[in-house]
Structure 1
Amino acid sequence: MGGIYWLISKVMLFWHTVWDSIMPDHRVLGSNWQWVLAIVFLVITVRVVLFPIFVKQIKSQRAMQAIQPKMKELQEKHKGDRETLQKEVMKLYQEEKVNPLMGCLPMFLQIPVFIGLLHVLRHLKPGTSDHQMELYGWTKSEFLSAVDARLFDAPIVAKFSSSAADLLQIEANSTTVKIVAAILVALMITTTYLTQRQMIKKTGWNTDPQQRMIQKFMLYGIPFFTLTSGWYFPIGVIIYWVTNNAITLGQQYWVLHKYPPPASASSSNVPYKSGGAKKATDAKQPSGFGALFSKAREEAAAQQRTNGKAAKATGAKANGTAPDAAAPSRAPKPGAKPINPKKGGAAKRQSG
C-alpha cells in the first residue's frame, strides 16, 4: 500500500500548492482552506479519472435490468436445480455481453483511495521524527502545515473520539472538535442515504426478494455504518466522504436522465415509496381492522340481498302469482283470432 499512500500524498500536495498560490496562507473563518480544498480536489481528481468506468458501470446496470425478465424465466424454469440455473445464467450473460461485476468496480477502485487518505491523515501528528515526516514525498514544512490545518478551528487530523491528550498535542478544543465532527458526520449520513434513495426512487424496488434485501441494506445499512464509524474518522476523511457523496448525487442525476432505466425493468419493479417497498396488489388490500370492517360490510350486503329475494318470493306467493312472473297476462281483444296451440301458442280463450 506504500505506493497508494505516496500517490494520495502527491495529489494532495499538488492541489495544496495550487490553492496556496491563489489565496494567502492564513486562516479565514478559522479554516486553512488550502488544505480543505486540497482534499476536495483529491476527490474531484479521483472521480474524473474514474468517470469512464462510472459510465460503463451505469450501462452494465441498465443491461442487467433489461435482462431481468429472461432471468425470471430461467429461475422459474430451473427452480430447484441450482447447478443448471447457474450455467444458464452464465450463458445468458455471455449472449447479452453483460458483466455483473462491472457494477461494483468504481466502488472497489475508490476503497484504496479512501484507505490511503485515512492512513496519511493518521500519519500526520506532532512529535513525528524528521525521517517519518518525509515519507510519501512530504517535506518537513508541508507536514507541519498539514498537522496545523483546521476547519472552523477543528484540526483536520482530529476526530470525534480523540482523547484530551491527543487534542492537547495539536492545541485543539475538545468541544469545537466534537461539534464540527458531529455536523460533518450528520452530513455524511444524510448524503449517503440520499445517494441510495435517488437511485431506488428512479428505478423502483426490485421485485426479487434477495435484490430488494440488498437495496434495503444499501439504503439503511450503509448510512448506519457511517454513523457508527464516523466518530473514529479524522475530520479530513469525513470531508472526503461528504464531497464524494455530493459529486455522486450530481453524477447520478445526470446519468439517470441521460441513460434512464429500460421500460421493461421499470415496469417489473415496484414504485418507490418513502415508507418502504410494497407490491401494488398488496397496497390495495385492507389490513387489520380495515379488513374486518370490509368483510363484515360485504357479509351484511349479501344477507340483505338474500332477505330481499325471500321477501319478494313470499309476497308473490301470497298474491297467488308466480314469483318469477314478469307481468300479468292480458285478455285477447274481441274479434281476435285464437292462437293455435299446435304452433306453440297458448290455449284458446273464450271471447267475452
Structure 2
Amino acid sequence: MSLDWIYWAISWILLRWHSLWEMIGVPDGTVLGTNWAWILAIIFLVVTVRVILFPVFVKQIKSQRAMQALQPQVKALQEKHKGDRETLQKEMMELYRKEKANPLMGCLPMFLQIPVFLGLFHVLRRLDPSKLNKTLYGWTAEQFDSAASAKLFTAPIAGQFGSSAAELERLGANGTTVKIIAGVLVLIMMGTTYLTSRQMILKTGWAEDPQQRMIQRLMLYGIPASLLVSGAIFPIGVIIYWVTNNLFTLGQQQWVLRKYPPPVINNKDGKAVPGPGARKSTGTQQPQDKPSRFSRSKANGAVQDTKPAVDGKALAPKPGAKPVNPKKRKPAKRQG
C-alpha cells in the first residue's frame, strides 16, 4: 500500500502553516540560530493533528472509564476461572461485548498518529540539498531549499544524532552541535513520553486484566526505553514534533480527566468507593455532634427523649454555708 497520500497531506499542512507564519511576519531567517517559521510550522502540525483526533481521544477516556467500572467483574472472573486461561479469555470477551467496552480503544489515538509520524519522518528525511526532485509532494524548489537549510540553534532540522559525516557536510552542519541538540531533545522526548503514560495510569489505576496491565507496563517503560535507541535515527524536526505532541497530550489529558473523573465502583464489601485517581474533596467538613446517650431522635424528629435540665443555681451552696465535699460522705447509721 502506497503512503504517498500521507506524505502529500503532511506536506500540505506543513507548508500552509509555514506560509501563514511568513505572512504574519515571523522571520524566515535565523534568529538565535533558529528558523522560527519552520519550527512553528512543525509545532502547529501537532496542533492540527490533535484537534482532528480530539473526538477519538475523548472516546479513549470513556472506554478506559468503562473498563475501570468492569474491574470488579473481571476480578471475579479471574477468581472463578483460575488456571483455565482459555475459558477466562472467552468469558472476558463476552463481558466486554455485553458491556460495549473495547480494551484496544486505549491505544487507538497512538495508532492513528503513527501514519502522521511516519509521514513527517519521510518528508524531513528528503530535505537533502543534493536531491534533484525538489517539487515532490507539492513543494516548490524555494520551499524545499528553505526547509533544507532550516535550523534549531544552528542544528539542521533534517539532521540526526546518528548522521554520517557526509550527510552533515551536505547539510552544512557541525557534527558536535547536531549531537548535542539531538541528544538533549531525545532525553526530553523520553521523559515526556514516560510522563504522559504515568499521568494516565495514576488517574485510571493499574488494570486487573493481565493483558491490560502488560500494555500499561509497555506504555510506561517499554516505549520510553526504546526511544533511547530509535531516537538516534530521528531527524531533529521529528523529535520536535514528538516532544510537542507529548506536551500537548499532558495538557489535554489533564483537562479530559478532570471532565470525566474516575467512576465509582464497589469494593469487596459491596460499598461504593471512588475509583483510582479520584480527586479528594478539598472542602472542610464541619464535625457533627455525636448523639448523647440520653437523647434519641427519629428521622422525622417527632420523638426526642432528653435528660431533664438541671438548674445550676439550685445546686449552688447558699451564702455562708460550709462547702460540702461530695467524696466524703457520712456512713449510714446502722439499724439497731
Q: Which TM-score applies when normalising by structure 2? A: 0.75
Task: Kindly indicate whether the alpha-carbon contact (under 8 Å) linking 2:160 and 2:178 is maintained by their aligned counterparts in 1.
Answer: yes
Q: How many residue pairs get matched?
A: 269
Displacement of 1:256: 1.5
Task: Kindly indicate whether the alpha-carbon contact (under 8 Å) linking 1:158 and 1:167 is maintained by their aligned counterparts in 2.
Answer: yes
Displacement of 1:58: 0.5
Matched position secondary structure for 1:264? strand
1:86–1:208 Cα change, 3 Å:
closer
User: What do the CA deviations read for 1:116-150 (whole angstroms, capped 9, x no partner)?
Assistant: 10001111101111xx2111111111111110000
| Distance in 2 (alpha carbons) for counterparts of 1:216 and 1:90 | 21
1:99–1:203 Cα change, 3 Å:
closer
Displacement of 1:218: 1.9
* Unmatched runs of 5 consecutive residues or more in structure 2: 268-272, 278-336
Alignment of 1:57-136 (within 5 A): 57-129=60-132, 132-136=133-137
Task: Kindly indicate whether the alpha-carbon contact (under 8 Å) linking 1:205 and 1:269 is maintained by their aligned counterparts in 2.
Answer: no
Task: Kindly indicate whether the alpha-carbon contact (under 8 Å) linking 1:207 and 1:268 is maintained by their aligned counterparts in 2.
Answer: no
Aligned-pair RMSD on alpha carbons?
2.0
Matched AA of 2:179: K
Task: Kindly indicate whether the alpha-carbon contact (under 8 Å) linking 2:186 and 2:231 is maintained by their aligned counterparts in 1.
Answer: yes
My pick for the range that moved more, 115-124 or 16-25, is 16-25
Match of 1:41 in 2: 44
Please say which structure displays the higher CA radius of gyration.
Answer: 1
Task: Kindly indicate whether the alpha-carbon contact (under 8 Å) linking 1:207 and 1:269 is maintained by their aligned counterparts in 2.
Answer: no
Task: Kindly indicate whether the alpha-carbon contact (under 8 Å) linking 2:42 and 2:237 is maintained by their aligned counterparts in 1.
Answer: yes
Match of 2:151 in 1: 150
| Distance in 2 (alpha carbons) for counterparts of 1:177 and 1:166 | 12
2:35 corresponds to which of 14, 27, 32? 32
| Distance in 2 (alpha carbons) for counterparts of 1:109 and 1:209 | 24
Displacement of 1:100: 2.2
- Decide which structure has greater helix share: 1
Matched AA of 2:157: I
Match of 1:173 in 2: 174
| Distance in 1 (alpha carbons) for counterparts of 2:83 and 2:206 | 25
| Distance in 1 (alpha carbons) for counterparts of 2:274 and 2:160 | 45
* Unmatched runs of 5 consecutive residues or more in structure 1: 272-352
Displacement of 1:196: 1.4
Displacement of 1:83: 4.1
| Distance in 2 (alpha carbons) for counterparts of 1:179 and 1:133 | 29
Task: Kindly indicate whether the alpha-carbon contact (under 8 Å) linking 1:206 and 1:270 is maintained by their aligned counterparts in 2.
Answer: no
Displacement of 1:105: 1.4
User: What do the CA deviations read for 1:143-184 (whole angstroms, capped 9, x no partner)?
Assistant: 111100001110000011111221111111111111111111
My pick for the range that moved more, 94-103 or 7-16, is 94-103
Task: Kindly indicate whether the alpha-carbon contact (under 8 Å) linking 1:160 and 1:232 is maintained by their aligned counterparts in 2.
Answer: yes
My pick for the range that moved more, 4-13 or 159-168, is 159-168
Alignment of 1:130-279 (within 5 A): 132-264=133-265
| Distance in 2 (alpha carbons) for counterparts of 1:101 and 1:138 | 37
Task: Kindly indicate whether the alpha-carbon contact (under 8 Å) linking 1:39 and 1:236 is maintained by their aligned counterparts in 2.
Answer: yes
Matched AA of 1:259: Y
Task: Kindly indicate whether the alpha-carbon contact (under 8 Å) linking 1:195 and 1:249 is maintained by their aligned counterparts in 2.
Answer: yes
1:270–1:7 Cα change, 3 Å:
closer
| Distance in 2 (alpha carbons) for counterparts of 1:230 and 1:157 | 13
Matched position secondary structure for 2:186? helix
Task: Kindly indicate whether the alpha-carbon contact (under 8 Å) linking 1:121 and 1:234 is maintained by their aligned counterparts in 2.
Answer: yes
Matched AA of 2:217: K
User: What do the CA deviations read for 1:282-337 (whole angstroms, capped 9, x no partner)?
Assistant: xxxxxxxxxxxxxxxxxxxxxxxxxxxxxxxxxxxxxxxxxxxxxxxxxxxxxxxx
1:265–1:237 Cα change, 3 Å:
farther
Task: Kindly indicate whether the alpha-carbon contact (under 8 Å) linking 1:159 and 1:181 is maintained by their aligned counterparts in 2.
Answer: yes
Matched AA of 1:30: G
